[in-house]
Amino acid sequence: MLVNAAPGRRAVTVLVAVLVALSALSGCGRGAPSSAAPVTGPGAVTTPPSNASSLAPAAAVSGLPTMVVAQLPKEGVTTLRLVAAGGPFPYSKDGVTFSNREGLLPKHPSGWYQEYTVITPGSSDRGARRIIAGKDGGRFYTSDHYASFREVLSGESS
Give per-residue pLDDT as tens, 41-70. Answer: 444 444 444 566 679 888 888 999 999 999
Q: What percent of the chain is predicted at pLDDT more than 90?
A: 59
Q: Is this structure's pTM higher than 0.85?
A: no
Q: Per-residue pLDDT for 15 more than 50?
A: no
Active site residues: 115, 145
- Is 75 or 157 the better-scoring residue by pLDDT? 75
Say how many Å lie between the first and final Cα of the chain, rounded: 69
Q: Nearest-CA neighbor of 79 among 96, 55, 61?
A: 55
Q: Per-residue pLDDT for 38 more than 80?
A: no
Region of 146 (left: φ > 0; alpha: ψ -120 to 50; beta: rest) is left
Confidence of residue 13 (pLDDT cuts 50, 70, 90): very low
Whole-Å CA distances, 31 to 24, 34, 45, 127: 12, 9, 12, 29
